[in-house]
Amino acid sequence: MKTLLLDGEALTGIAMVYLHLILAFSLVAFGYSQDVELQQTTTNYAYKETTESMRGVMENHKYESSLQRALAWLVTQREGNWGWRNDTPKVLTALTLAPQEVAAALLPTTLEMQLSFKQMEVEVVVLLWRHHEVPVTPPKLSQYCLALNALCYDPRQFHGHDLIGTLQHHETVQDLEFAYAILAACSARAHIRKRPIRRLLDIANTAKDHNIDTVAMTILALRCIVKDHRHRNLQHTLRRPSINLARQQQPDGGFGNLYNTALTLQALQDMNEINNHWNRTAARNYIESRQDPDGAFTDPNLTAEVVLALSDRGLGAIRNLDCGKFDSDDENHVDIDGLAKSFSTHGNDSEIRNVTITYTLWVGSNVTENSTISLTAPRNTSFYNVMQMAMDLDARFSFEASEWPNGHYVHTLAGYKEEPMGYHYWLLYRLPELPDPTAPPANQLVAPVGVDDLLIEEGDHYLFWYKKL
């Protein structure tokens, strides 16, 4: 199997991101642990209630859908580190694309999803960092890229590393892996060159010589590619291979096994023009009849694949997800940056306006030192710049930060340095009112982003609190 290569410079960067992530992750995990524990108990409790009432419903009315039971089972398989062993990206993709309206009560909370996402980021960094011992395989990387995209993160800018570039760097020998990698690159809106497209078309046109999963994945990749206006002229080439795939349906409704059937359902999703060549309902029935009593389809890997097949959105939907960044299909006709810029210069929201905020330092879990300063600065100034202003005005606010690929990490303030060994950390809060040591803020008010990405708004109150976690 071919493996992917990384250069030394990328590696150093990755190692640094890794350390930072571990630190950030432990911060998040420790910082939130109380609430999470609390939330988790509530979630589990609610979940237990749901499943019990569901069991009643299932026995009495059979209301409950196969999809809902599969999702509920996936959530129960989550590990203590918020991941799903080898299947974290696949399960996260399935949970994200599942129709929220049928699953709202079953799905993890936003906070839980964030923790799972952090776990996935750690997995990717470990994967890249250890690539000499455990080779990074293209399917593994494709899975992570698709998951990042499904969650609206750009895999071409993973902490400064271009995962799609790494993926495209080596051509994959195996056709299924090749089609999967192209689907991942295309879903990230990377440009796909002529040669790989030709190879996909060759596979599609010689479907008899290939396995069903390879053909289904190839159709998924090609359907993604024709969404790019530069390749719209290829739309017509999809019809015949799709019909040929549809005709492979067997009398039992399936396409040989659960995996092939789930992948084919995704490949032929929304292709209503070929409906008379196969029976979609029979394929769904085939899948649903193979569900285990506990809701699983054998294992998390296969269950996630089935969830994608039974949802309205499968892997083929990832490219066009509305992440607020693109306007559907025509992204290449307009200069997105230019458009956004012209909106903001013509809108009055862009009027430079000064805002006033307060910035407080607390030292000690039982606050033993406190200082507050009030500052005025243009709206949307980063909190990092505000900290620099405060330091210039008042020596009590002096600080030191280290620079990481994803921004500054403040480790020392007012002479107190973080002591990870003793679990002493500086936690940053963004609050609606001036903090009061007799009623300290709850953990969910910890700022969601780093000091560089935190932009000040009128009436914000910031608190950096040095405390033992």
Residues that bind ligand NAG (CB under 6 A): 86-87, 253, 259, 279, 281-282, 285, 301, 344, 348-351, 354, 365-367, 370, 376-377, 379-380, 437, 455
Sign of CA dihedral 340, 341, 347, 350: positive
Closer residue to ligand NAG (CB): 99 or 364:
364
- φ/ψ (deg, to 5) at 370: -145, 145
Closer residue to ligand NAG (CB): 44 or 354:
354
| C-alpha closest to that of 92 among 304, 344, 367 | 304
CB of residue 380 to ligand NAG, shortest distance in Å: 4
Closer residue to ligand NAG (CB): 233 or 281:
281
Secondary structure letter of residue 138 according to DSSP? H
Distance of CA 434 to the CA centre of its chain: 34
Neighbours of 184 (CB within 10 A): 30
Q: Are 72 and 57 in contact (CB under 8 A)?
A: no
CB of residue 93 to ligand NAG, shortest distance in Å: 12
Instruction: Name the residue whose CB lies closest to ligand NAG.
Output: 366
Distance CA 223, CA 467 (A): 53
CB of residue 51 to ligand NAG, shortest distance in Å: 26
**Feature table: binding site:** 213, 257, 409-410, 426-428
Q: Are 427 and 323 in contact (CB under 8 A)?
A: no
Distance CA 407, CA 450 (A): 7
CB of residue 53 to ligand NAG, shortest distance in Å: 29
CB of residue 426 to ligand NAG, shortest distance in Å: 17
CB of residue 355 to ligand NAG, shortest distance in Å: 9
CB of residue 43 to ligand NAG, shortest distance in Å: 26
Beta bridge partner(s), residue 401: 410
CB of residue 22 to ligand NAG, shortest distance in Å: 23
| C-alpha closest to that of 163 among 194, 134, 131, 206 | 131
Closer residue to ligand NAG (CB): 42 or 86:
86
Closer residue to ligand NAG (CB): 367 or 446:
367
Distance CA 298, CA 423 (A): 41
Q: Are 259 and 213 in contact (CB under 8 A)?
A: yes
With vertex at residue 342, the alpha carbon angle to CA 336 and CA 345, rounded to the nearest 5 degrees, is 140
Closer residue to ligand NAG (CB): 420 or 437:
437
**Cβ neighbours for 112, distance < 8 A, ≥ 6 positions apart:** 36, 39, 40, 43, 82
**Feature table: binding site for cyanocob(III)alamin:** 213, 257, 409-410, 426-428
φ/ψ region of 296 (left if φ > 0, alpha if ψ in -120 to 50, else beta) reads beta
Tokens encoding 399: 């600080």
Closer residue to ligand NAG (CB): 1 or 46:
1
Beta strands, E only, 304-448: 354-363, 369-378, 399-404, 407-413, 416-417, 424-431
Closer residue to ligand NAG (CB): 51 or 260:
260
Distance CA 9, CA 258 (A): 43
